[in-house]
Amino acid sequence: MDATYLMNSLWTMVAAVLVILMIGGFILLEAGSTRMKNAGHVAGKTIFTFGLASLVFWALGYGLIFGGNANFFTGMTDFLYSGDQVKDAGLATTVFFVFQLAFAAISITIALGGFAERAKFSAYVVFTILFGILVYPVIAHWIWGGGWLAEHGKQDFAGSTVVHLTGAMAALAATIVLKPRIGKFNKDGSSNNIAGHNQVYTALAVLLLWVGWFGFNAGSTVSVEDGFFGFVALNTNLAAAAGAVAATLISWIVLGKPDIPTLLNGALAGLVAITASCAFVDVWASVVIGFIAGILTFYSARFLESRKIDDPIFAVSVHGIPGMWGTLSTGFFATKELATVGKPGLFYGGGLHQLGVQFTGVLVSGLYAFIISFLILWVMKKVMGGIRVTEEEEIMGLDISEHGSYGYPEQMVTQQKDTNVTASKTHVSS
């Protein structure tokens, strides 16, 4: 058997494992950014939705993205993928399948971040299925599955748009439909900081995601040819670094103190932004792209808050806005030599053409993901008798209300006892 075929398969399999480990990053990210009473729920549901998304991807998602007999929206073959190998492919199709499955799983995980701390568990179940059929595959087909945006020359190497923007737009729809968490905004229009319970988790999450991103971006070469994955990895690391530094600086300048959540988001924003452009731009440009993403995430988080949109784990400001910027960035920075898809960007003599292509791609994909997700959630809300837990359940926490056990039993049971004591005292005195 051809050594290159084996090497490509092996490299892509390693990358797939790295991407799947990013799910662990998201567990820590979401758990660390939310309160103790929801920690077990966050961790458990993330594993569950990865499982469910895998099944949906196997049954339908893969075929909808990459299948034959395609219509405008999706492919129509290869459902319930049997493990067949495509002839003359550069790597094992099974490996490619697992790699793509991991991407689909990351996208839904990002989307579900918008549900944090207040959605019913059943809402996670239904949305994971519908997103995996109606939202993600359509955009992935358009850009990666030979759809109209692919033909258009849209550059999105590893999925700033396909994975991150799509997930973030669904998260935005969710957070709008679900409405802010209890206690996030006050009647007088001011907002409160609902601090996450563990910044160490969040920081470890960022590190895990950062490392996983080498699988995400460098792995998206799905080939070892010329060792190009090294170049992609280099760009990826520098963008993350620049994002972290930029976000730290901007928060220091504006808030007077370097803000930890902002700093962590900055690294992620750099990674999200470079995802589209990592294979198309020079090394210095990846620093610029990451740096700008770090600034953007800071201001977009502030903007969302000022619009009374509760984005509990910054899904929109980390994956959405930097995802848009990252996709647009190739319209400026894609070089002649590297633009193997599409054309060079504005700064490399390509004029406005590629920027226009990128803009169209972002606009159409973003709108599609938002509108369809919004409709799905709206219908779910009507049919399921609401997708948000009751006020009482939200206050007691989803660990106990949705699952019957706590992620931190010792702390939470003690707290509950205290609450009961206070409640009984109140009853006595009134």
Partner 1 sequence: MNTGVLTYESIKEWKEQNISTFKNDLIGLNSFHDQIMRKVLKVAIEKLNKGEPPCDFSWFVTGSGGRFEQGFISDQDHGMIYMEDSEECHLYFKALGEELADGLAFVGYPYCKGYIMSSNPLWCKSFQGWKEQLLAWMESESWGAIRYLQIFYDARVIEGEEPYIKQLKTVIYDYQLEHPKLLKRFLANIMHIKNIIGPLGQILVERYGTYQGCIDLKYSAFVPYVNAIRILAIKEGIYETSTLARISQLTQQKEYGQLLQNCEQNFELLLKYRLSLYKVNDYSDTHYLRIAGLEKEKKKQIKQILKTGVRIHDEVIELIEKGC
Binding site for partner 1 (CB under 8 A): 186, 188, 190-193, 252-257
Residue 334, beta-bridge partner list: 281
Please state, in angstroms and rounded to a whole number, the distance separating the CA atoms of residues 275 and 273.
5
Counting Cβ atoms within 10 Å, is residue 2 exposed (0-12), middle (13-18) or buried (19+)? Answer: exposed
* Beta-carbon-side half-sphere exposure of residue 154 (alpha carbons within 13 Å): 32
DSSP per position, 99-166: HHHHHHHHHHHHHHGGGTTTB-HHHHHHHHHHIIIIIHHHHHHHHHSS-HHHHHT---SS-IIIIIIH
Q: How far is the CB of 303 from partner 1 (least distance, A)?
A: 14
DSSP per position, 204-259: HHHHHHHHHHHHHHGGGG-S-GGGHHHHHHHHHHHHHHHHHHHHHHHHHHHHSS--
Please state, in angstroms and rounded to a whole number, the distance separating the CA atoms of residues 298 and 314.
10
Amino acid, single-letter form, for residue 80: L
Q: How far is the CB of 194 from partner 1 (least distance, A)?
A: 9
- Comparison of 44 and 266: residue with beta carbon closer to partner 1: 266
- List the structure tokens of 309: 């949109």
- Comparison of 190 and 426: residue with beta carbon closer to partner 1: 190
Please state, in angstroms and rounded to a whole number, the distance separating the CA atoms of residues 215 and 29.
18
- Comparison of 2 and 188: residue with beta carbon closer to partner 1: 188
- Comparison of 312 and 345: residue with beta carbon closer to partner 1: 312
- Comparison of 251 and 277: residue with beta carbon closer to partner 1: 251
**148 and 277 in contact (C-beta within 8 Å)?**
no
- Comparison of 5 and 185: residue with beta carbon closer to partner 1: 185
Please state, in angstroms and rounded to a whole number, the distance separating the CA atoms of residues 420 and 430.
15
Q: How far is the CB of 186 from partner 1 (least distance, A)?
A: 6
Q: How far is the CB of 121 from partner 1 (least distance, A)?
A: 29
- List the structure tokens of 86: 């495509």
- Comparison of 239 and 246: residue with beta carbon closer to partner 1: 246
Please state, in angstroms and rounded to a whole number, the distance separating the CA atoms of residues 259 and 299.
13
Q: How far is the CB of 267 from partner 1 (least distance, A)?
A: 21
Angle ∠(325,137,54) on CA atoms, nearest 5:
110
Length of the chain measured in residues: 430
- Comparison of 34 and 128: residue with beta carbon closer to partner 1: 34
- Comparison of 71 and 190: residue with beta carbon closer to partner 1: 190
Q: How far is the CB of 33 from partner 1 (least distance, A)?
A: 15
Q: How far is the CB of 51 from partner 1 (least distance, A)?
A: 37
Helix axes 121-130, 39-56, angle to 10 degrees: 30
DSSP per position, 87-102: TT-SS-HHHHHHHHHH
Q: How far is the CB of 191 from partner 1 (least distance, A)?
A: 6
Q: How far is the CB of 273 from partner 1 (least distance, A)?
A: 25
- Comparison of 28 and 250: residue with beta carbon closer to partner 1: 250
Q: How far is the CB of 254 from partner 1 (least distance, A)?
A: 7
Residue 355, beta-bridge partner list: none
